Amino acid sequence: MNKGLQENDTMNAGGTNRPFAILAITGLIASIAGSLISTALIMEYFGASIALADAICRAGSDINACRTVAKSVFAAIRGVPVIGDVPTALFGFVYYGYAALLFISAMRMDSTNRRAPLVLVAMLSVPALIADLFLLFVSAFSLNAFCPLCMASYAATAVVLAASLVALWHSRTVRPDEGVPGIIRSLAVFVWNRIIVHGLAVFLLIAGGFGISLLARESLADSMSRFGGDERASRLIERYEAVLESRIDIDGAPIDGNPGAPVRIVVFSDFNCSSCTRMNKSLKRLLEERPGELVIYYKNFPLGEQCRDEMDRRKEVSSCLAARAALCAAR
């Protein structure tokens, strides 16, 4: 066995063996992918979705599950003095970026020194994976939302950890300093000799993460300004408050949501109306995104002359029948 290890050490001494190179490149790709995913999640937190990320987050559903997770208390450290909100994804961005740097460092070293950056990657990946598992548990059992981008980032962390551990195994040697003390010593030397470079790299990654956050905020603010910003919103509120209060009879109307919710919405719709169908999908999504906060009352407004004298739409005869059937079913 020792002979095999010695042969492995001899093969590695002159450069990088093929299995190690494949593993290091795999870890590097996973790290880069994790950085990109973290960037998208930072954008999601501030409400500035990237088109591709939004499509992924809505996979199999009309609901942006990533946005649902981003609204939770676990999505950020909120109210940090001077800085403001710090998205959880920003920590992921720094972790993946630094892991990529360490994989590159390992690939540039010979077998006698490459263990140190790999050990550092593994040491960082273990708590990162634990945090990911905790967030996965929260998403599944507390938020009831599965964020595809979050899942992809968890997978990236697992790949980074696995790649670093297996690459470490392929970099094993039988030198006298082999073992935990030797690994700790080589790790300390690696960090000390590169403390300025790596410190600067981490600083730049943190600055980059905050830069992405700032761009996301500005993008959202720009979108709001194009819409009209606070001035238009104020005008709309004034117009709304100027309208006389009207009372709608909702006794016996079918409802969806929490009957005791503070927000009540009354919907007038026709079962044959395609626009009403699209609106109902949006309302369903709103109910899922804000559970317990609102209740929807449904009122029939069939666009057919059989039940509305003012209508002249013979092709909508079934609207009246559908409305009556719905009322019967509700009772």
For residues 206 and 259, membership in a common domain is answered with no
Please write the tens of the pLDDT for every residue from 84-111.
788 899 999 999 999 999 999 888 887 7
From 212, 64, 218, 63, select the one nearest 149 (Cα to Cα). Answer: 64
Please write the tens of the pLDDT for every residue from 162-218.
999 998 887 765 454 556 666 677 777 777 878 888 889 889 999 998 888 888 777
Is residue 178 in a domain?
yes
Judge whether residue 224 has pLDDT over 70.
no
Is residue 294 in a domain?
yes
Is residue 250 in a domain?
no
In the chain, the percentage of residues whose pLDDT exceeds 70 is 76
**What is the DSSP annotation of 146-185?**
--HHHHHHHHHHHHHHHHHHHHHHHT----TT-SHHHHHH
Domain that holds residue 71: 2-225
**Degrees, nearest 5: CA angle 141-32-201:** 110
197 class by beta-carbon count within 10 Å (0-12 exposed, 13-18 middle, 19+ buried)? exposed
In the block, tokens 């708590």 appear at: 127
Mean pLDDT of 118-144: 89
> What confidence score (pLDDT) does residue 32 get?
96
For residues 91 and 146, membership in a common domain is answered with yes
Is residue 160 in a domain?
yes
Mean pLDDT of 46-55: 75
Judge whether residue 49 has pLDDT over 50.
yes
Higher pLDDT, 175 or 278: 278
C-alpha–C-alpha distance, residues 38 and 15, integer Å: 33
Higher pLDDT, 270 or 49: 270
Out of 225, 241, 268, a domain closes at 225
For residues 44 and 122, membership in a common domain is answered with yes
Which residue type sits at 35? S
For residues 207 and 140, membership in a common domain is answered with yes
Out of 204, 225, 246, a domain closes at 225
For residues 268 and 194, membership in a common domain is answered with no
**Among 132-136, 158-162, 228-232, 296-300, the least confident range:** 228-232
For residues 155 and 194, membership in a common domain is answered with yes
> What confidence score (pLDDT) does residue 242 get?
60
C-alpha–C-alpha distance, residues 15 and 191, integer Å: 22
Is residue 231 in a domain?
no
For residues 145 and 188, membership in a common domain is answered with yes
CB-facing half-sphere around the CA of 14: CA atoms within 13 A: 5
For residues 53 and 125, membership in a common domain is answered with yes
Which residue type sits at 115? R
Give the mean pLDDT of the chain. 78
> What confidence score (pLDDT) does residue 304 get?
67
Is residue 237 in a domain?
no
Query: Residue 161 maps to which CATH number?
Result: 1.20.1440.130
Query: Dihedral, CA atoms, 208, 213, 219, 221, nearest 10 degrees?
Result: -140
CB-facing half-sphere around the CA of 141: CA atoms within 13 A: 6
Higher pLDDT, 93 or 75: 93
Q: pTM value?
A: 0.61
For residues 174 and 259, membership in a common domain is answered with no
> Within 10 A of 45 (CB to CB), how many other CB atoms are there?
23
In the chain, the percentage of residues whose pLDDT exceeds 90 is 20
Higher pLDDT, 162 or 148: 162
Is residue 241 in a domain?
no
Tokens representing 304? 């057919």
| Number of domains observed in the structure of the chain | 2
